[in-house]
Amino acid sequence: MRRYGDIPLPVVFDKTLTAFKNCPTRDLAAEIYQYAVYICEMSDAIDGDIPSKDWIKQKLKGYLDETIEECKYMRNKCRPFDQWQKVFDIKRKFDMRLALLTGTIGYIEDGDEYISSKERGLDMVSSYKYTIIEMINHEVKSLRDFFQDAYRNYVIHDVKNAYNDAVEIYNTIETFERIRSNRREEPYYDLSEYEGGFGLSIVTNGISGSLTKPLPIGEILQIFERAVRLELQFSLKGSALVKHQALTRFIKNSELLLKSLSGVQLTADTICSLIEASYNAESPDSFKEAFINERKSSFVDDFNDIIIKNINLTEPNQTKKSHRFPFSEGTQQYKDRLLLNLRTAFKDSVSDIPSFNKKLIKYCNLKIKSNYDEIRIYAEKEGVLSNSDRKWVNWMRLFFQYYVPTNTNFINQYYLPSTLKRILMLNMEYTTFFKNKRSIEAALNKEFTKYLPIEYTPVNELIQQALHMKPELINNDETSLFLLHLKSEGFGYGLPDHSKDTVQPLWLHKSFTDTWQQKRDEYKKQGKTLHNSFGMHVMEMSSNITLTDNRCLTLVVNPNIAAILYQFNDADTIPVSVLKEKLMVERNQELQFNASLKKLLRHGILLLNNKQLTFNDDFKPNPHENETGVLKLM
């Protein structure tokens, strides 16, 4: 008998099969497989060394039958998620053993019948594959249930590796259907019998309450995005008809998703996810149209129409231009400027507007670039934009135009703070001419009903808040007075012309102080009282300085001192030169700056050491300040 060294060749072949059976990795299995082929080639060259062809076939069949038995014992031994993972670990081993059978079948048949024998070998492979899949489908757990587990764990719960497992189960379903229909080519797969565990039904069930708690908007969009990713992966392997049917299901079943989004605000990440998910659909325009219609249905009442038409939603840190009061007429700027719409529509959902803006701009640019690289169209004068790109950008503009917060959020986050600013300014002006509170309220009501009918807006409530302003409300970012400007032709606010996008100056602009001085002189000439005429120069700031009764000391300061103190919210120590740069103090304002700084140093609020300013956390108020709880620095 032919030997391999001191070992008979059949024994070597037997050991090779055993090593292949217990092989822990695919790479090592491939090496063992090549060695088995080499032994078969030696057997073909030296006839009679291998005991018999039937013995080899029987040996291979025994290993495959053993694999099937292993799978049968897997049933009901662990939780469903673990079960299908372990079953498919066995299936992977089965595939490796099947590869050995496929590779050696041609060598153990007669040489003259190699082609036909290989075909018979493939039939044998198909038969074994069908056996193992059928066993999984009927004896351990149905393919539909396996797929549903994997799909749900990836889409709903985002379980690690569930995506690859879902794809593998789907491939197994394809193999099962192909062998069952006895086809060699890629067929059209009728997956209707797997429908219960396939597609958006799992997603909609998860969103609608099959989970233990309601899902926030971000998770809903992530579920939708993962589901689209899986659907695309599966549909790419099928025919165009399959792909169309799969994505059509998403469009039809997206009603629940759209209703879930109605009236809910999105962040930068989730809005990008939604845009990306909708773009993956077969009919993105239909999806977008449905989404917009769903959003519009929530905001068609007269209330929002009146607000949007009559209120200017721009914030000081969003534009270099000053805006006059009363409100600007029309909404052309609101409709035309995509980024402005973005900032206003999502301001209360995003803490850092510049980074939010940057993220979406980057996303838009990447989308436009990817489309351009794919289509390779010519560059137009305004930029490299194809018709499809322009359509996409136009849809984004339309999306943000209609995507406004709910009525309550709209009032609380945009209308109320902006109106309070106007009321505060008018209030300071009206106290000069009116002696009592009721007269002021009447004048304010008359002023505001010019723009918004009183039955639609909580004017009285806003006025009451303005007349009883608290320090924390005044110093809130939404009602900051640092950038207010009093112009001779009316009230307005905005950044000085020399400002930069990356800097928000807090120092009062010279035009403000000059105009205010002019107004004071006019009042004196007319014999008017100056009661509260300095109101616009006085602010209340809460501090972290604790009094003996555990109250916090309130600072009554002018805006210049407030601007200096405001800088210490973000830093404990600031060099004098850096403080000047932050406040953008000009040469003609240095006297005001130095005077304000000396007051803070003289009272001990700030400490100066080697040109470094430090906020004095150990400041001790005098007895009078401790009793009243107020420190005036005018």
Asked if residue 613 has pLDDT above 50, the reply is: yes
Query: What's residue 220's pLDDT?
Result: 60
**Bridge-partner residues for 542, per DSSP?**
554
List, edge to edge, every strand of the sheet that includes 323-324: 323-324, 490-493, 484-487
> 263: which residues sit within 8 A by CB, 6+ positions away?
298, 406
Query: What's residue 544's pLDDT?
Result: 73
> 48: which residues sit within 8 A by CB, 6+ positions away?
1, 2
- The C-alpha torsion from 255 through 256 and 262 to 264, rounded to 10°, is -140
Q: Which residue, chain included where needed, has tokens 């009183």? A: 454
Query: What's residue 623's pLDDT?
Result: 76
Integer CA distances (angstroms), 349 to 218, 399, 595, in order: 12, 17, 40
pLDDT band at 13 (very low <50, low <70, confident <90, very high): low
Q: Say which residue, 434 or 595, is predicted with more confidence.
A: 595
Identify how many contiguous H helices and E strands the chain contains and give both numbers. Answer: 28, 11
Q: Say which residue, 147 or 312, is predicted with more confidence.
A: 147
CA distance 254 to 570: 45
Please choose, from the candidates 197, 145, 140, 143, the residue with its C-alpha nearest in 3D space to the C-alpha of residue 175: 143
- Whether 485 contacts 509, CB under 8 Å: yes
Q: Which residue, chain included where needed, has tokens 């906020």? A: 615
Q: Say which residue, 34 or 561, is predicted with more confidence.
A: 561
Asked if residue 273 has pLDDT above 60, the reply is: no
CA distance 465 to 412: 13
pLDDT band at 127 (very low <50, low <70, confident <90, very high): low
Query: What's residue 405's pLDDT?
Result: 37
Asked if residue 610 has pLDDT above 80, the reply is: yes
For β-strands 323-324 and 630-633, DSSP reports them as unpaired
Q: Which residue, chain included where needed, has tokens 């100066």? A: 608
- What would the pLDDT profile of 485-516 be if each residue is shown by its tens digit? 222 232 233 333 333 333 233 344 455 455 54
Range with the lowest mean pLDDT among 13-27, 49-63, 196-210, 375-389? Answer: 375-389
> 168: which residues sit within 8 A by CB, 6+ positions away?
88
**Bridge-partner residues for 380, per DSSP?**
383
pTM of the model: 0.34
What is the overall mean pLDDT for the chain? 55
CA distance 226 to 277: 9
Range with the lowest mean pLDDT among 12-26, 33-47, 371-385, 394-408? Answer: 371-385
Written as one string, the DSSP assignment of 438-463 is: HHHHHHHHHHHTTTS-GGGS-HHHHH
With left for phi above 0 and alpha for psi between -120 and 50, is residue 321 left, alpha or beta?
A: beta
Query: What's residue 151's pLDDT?
Result: 72
List Cβ<8 Å contacts ≥24 apart for 576-582.
576/608, 576/611, 576/612, 576/613, 577/611, 579/613, 582/503, 582/506
Taking residues 616-631, report their average pLDDT: 78
pLDDT band at 154 (very low <50, low <70, confident <90, very high): confident
Identify the top-confidence range among 29-33, 133-137, 168-172, 300-304.
Answer: 168-172
Residues above pLDDT 70, as percent of the chain: 16
CA 267 to chain centre: 6
- What would the pLDDT profile of 409-433 be if each residue is shown by its tens digit? 444 444 555 555 555 555 555 555 5
**Bridge-partner residues for 609, per DSSP?**
612
CA distance 98 to 417: 71
Give the per-residue SS3 of 362-426: HHHHHHHHHHHHHHCCCCECCECCCHHHHHHHHHHHHHHHHCCCCHHHHHHHHHHHHHHHHHHHH
Q: Say which residue, 192 or 8, is predicted with more confidence.
A: 8
